[in-house]
Amino acid sequence: MKTIGASELVLNPDGSVYHLNLKPEHLATNVITVGDPERVDLVASFFDKKEFETRKREFHTITGTYKGTRFTVISTGIGPDNIDIVLNELDALVNIDLEKRQIKDRHTALNIVRIGTSGSLQADIPVDGFVMGKYGLGLDGLLHYYASEHIRETALEKAFLEQTGWLPELPRPYIVANSDELTRRLDSELIFKGITATAGGFYGPQGRVLRIPLADPHMHDKLHKFRAGNYKVTNFEMETAAIYGLAKLLGHHACSMNAIIANRKTLDFSADYHQTIRKLIAYVLDKLA
């Protein structure tokens, strides 16, 4: 059996994975990811009991129980590059024997739910609403570094390229579906569903202009108008598609639940987005417990 080299799977002196500073016993199979390290405390404030906590760089983790179900909440920081670290190291914790540096014979699947904030791209999806990303549309290019065509929605990708006239100098978009199992568990009449677009940055990659002109000043309009069957691009953020792609490649279940705090079409912003986030956290925990 192949042994994974020390330069490829980096461990800390105590045997924990390098960036997340976690050992296998610290991780629950139900994982909540958030961007902001301070939001980890907010999610964990709902727990009935906390059993473990650690911090390293932007990665803050608390594991505990909620209504008898064990959860881990972890901050990813911002962007697809951090998702590449978090997803690979979470998988290593359950599917690689860290002492032997060998892949385990038995695969363990995690339930990974992102609870995030986002901006709506559609006027009919209001601030303070909840959006489930049925698909993740990656505009960041991360997944193309992996052999991934077999898990991507290539027909949707083709339709997107044709409808938008996507500029060839920009990263080639990729599209990945979320977990059907988590869709069933998290869906309700309260939830808007659609395509969540994932950008590689906050300003230019999301169509914001401060002092630098955009390569494609019509990108927002193209995203707003794109249609694929019953689905449209509902919201813009910076993690979902990368989570979906890596989770599916690694055999995990993933779903992204976003609190809409801004509407990029109507230019509205939530008057109390903290309360909206708390409601979404409670909703997700209750559905998974």
The per-residue pLDDT for 125 is: 85
Rounded-to-integer distance, Cα 269 and Cα 262, Å: 4
Percent of the chain with pLDDT over 90: 83
Q: At which residue do the structure tokens 């301070």 appear?
A: 38
Other CB atoms within a 10 A radius of the CB of residue 149 amount to 11
The per-residue pLDDT for 74 is: 98
What pLDDT, in 10s, does the model give residues 158-210?
A: 999 999 999 999 999 999 999 999 999 999 998 999 999 999 999 999 988 99
pLDDT level of residue 13 (50, 70, 90 thresholds): very high
Coil, helix or strand at residue 91: helix
pLDDT level of residue 128 (50, 70, 90 thresholds): confident
What pLDDT, in 10s, does the model give residues 241-280?
A: 999 999 999 999 999 999 988 887 788 887 788 899 999 9
| Contact yes or no for 134/193 (Cβ under 8 A) | yes
The per-residue pLDDT for 201 is: 94
The per-residue pLDDT for 33 is: 98
What pLDDT, in 10s, does the model give residues 97-115?
A: 999 999 999 999 999 999 9
Rounded-to-integer distance, Cα 124 and Cα 135, Å: 19
The per-residue pLDDT for 231 is: 87
The per-residue pLDDT for 236 is: 86
List of domains in the chain: 24-288 (3.40.50.1580)
The per-residue pLDDT for 288 is: 97
The per-residue pLDDT for 230 is: 85
Rounded-to-integer distance, Cα 279 and Cα 212, Å: 37
What pLDDT, in 10s, does the model give residues 233-243?
A: 998 899 999 99
Coil, helix or strand at residue 98: coil
For 79, which DSSP code? S
Mean pLDDT of 34-39: 95
* Least confident span in 12-21, 22-31, 201-210, 250-259: 201-210
Percent of the chain with pLDDT over 70: 100
The reported pTM is 0.96
Residue 221, C-beta contacts closer than 8 angstroms, at least 6 positions apart: none
The per-residue pLDDT for 238 is: 94
Between β-strands 231-237 and 191-198, what pairing exists: parallel, antiparallel or unpaired? parallel
